[in-house]
Amino acid sequence: SLAGFPVGVAVNAGFENNSIINSGSSAQQQAVVFPNFNQMTAGNIMKMGYLHPQENTFTFDQADQFISFANANGIEVHGHTLIWHADYQVPSFMTNYSGDFAAMLKNHVQTIVGHFQGRVVSWDVVNEALADDGQATVDNILCSTLFSQRMGHDFIDQSFINARAIDPQVDLFYNDYNIEAGGQKTANLLALVDGMRSRSVPITGVGFQMHVTIDWPNITAIESSLKAIADRGLKVKISELDVSMKSAYTSFTPEAASRQQQRYHEIIAAYLRAVPPAQRAGITVWGVWDADSWINQPGSPDWPLLFDANFQAKPALQGFKDAL
């Protein structure tokens, strides 16, 4: 790639099949994705509720089509995500599961990893398990969820071990938000990772979602958080980057655009300083164009991405590229 490491983008269902998605056509998306990115993440369709709706039913068709299309166009795919406790994502059969929960979760992980073996380069094995600052916790660092309630921190260890047993090659990531901010959650991340490594759990790296704003967190905190993981010899991925503007702007003024350009530039530059080349798992932006962003909502507009509502490159794209 241009960058020497993956530069990725999240896309929504229909990217591969000429759909209209959030007011843009997939042809418009493809025209900006192909020249600028060499990795993709499915924004939703590879989450657990989509892939595994019932105990004995796995639905792989949509994901298979997406991956075939990506690979045929020279774009690799990052898998997101094997385990995430968000309510709308957990299949109801899991919530109510009365059998052997650990065996059920092992089958979930191993069936999915086995199905996509050789066609995804990496997986977010566990998403968002760490407690937010001030939240009630399990084992002092995890949030209380279906998975941590049933299995304690072992749900994380076992899921990495089970994934690795099926696919010896694929990179295995722990993925979370606000872990770049340098507060209690960053300390908890390091405790989690150090514990996993002391137990020889096969973790390849950490995904920093990096849903940041125009002025939070500060760049020093971001750089030292990335470096703390790199210093442990792990790969570092920025997995869901977006730069929210709505805390400071009610419209996307030229001044906002230029500050955003600078913010993208300093984040990419911090990543390059903090992470040695061999440990760069890449940088993925969470959506193609502003109209497509999960944080741009009716009544609460935002302009967090690299392309505008007309698929024109924003100054942010220049900021990103200038840093490479």
182: Cα separation from own chain's centroid: 19
Catalytic pick among 76, 128, 223, 240: 240
To ligand XIL, the closest distance from the beta carbon of 99 in angstroms equals 28
The residue ranges that bind ligand XIL (CB under 6 A) are: 43-44, 127, 209, 240, 294
To ligand XIL, the closest distance from the beta carbon of 308 in angstroms equals 18
Nearer to ligand XIL, 25 or 44 (CB): 44
Establish whether 240 is a catalytic residue. Answer: yes
Nearer to ligand XIL, 171 or 261 (CB): 171
Nearer to ligand XIL, 157 or 240 (CB): 240
Nearer to ligand XIL, 240 or 302 (CB): 240
Q: What is the 3-state secondary structure (H, E, C) of the chain?
A: CCCCCCEEEEECCCCCCCCEECCEEHHHHHHHHHHHCCEEEECCCCCHHHHCCECCECCCHHHHHHHHHHHHCCCEEEEEEEEECCHHHCCHHHHCCCCCHHHHHHHHHHHHHHHHCCCCCEEEEEECCECCCCCCEECCCEECCHHHHHHCCHHHHHHHHHHHHHCCCCEEEEEECCCCCCCHHHHHHHHHHHHHHHCCCCCCEEEECCEEECCCCCHHHHHHHHHHHHCCCCEEEEEEEEEECCCCCCCCCHHHHHHHHHHHHHHHHHHHHHCCHHHEEEEEECCCEHHHCCCCECCECCCCCCECCCCCECHHHHHHHHHC
To ligand XIL, the closest distance from the beta carbon of 72 in angstroms equals 24
To ligand XIL, the closest distance from the beta carbon of 322 in angstroms equals 27
Nearer to ligand XIL, 44 or 110 (CB): 44
Q: Are the CB atoms for 202 and 160 separated by under 8 Å?
A: yes
To ligand XIL, the closest distance from the beta carbon of 307 in angstroms equals 16
Q: Which residue number is nearest to ligand XIL in terms of Cβ?
A: 294
To ligand XIL, the closest distance from the beta carbon of 47 in angstroms equals 7
Q: How far apart are CA 3 and CA 16, in angstroms?
A: 25
Nearer to ligand XIL, 122 or 127 (CB): 127
Catalytic site positions: 240
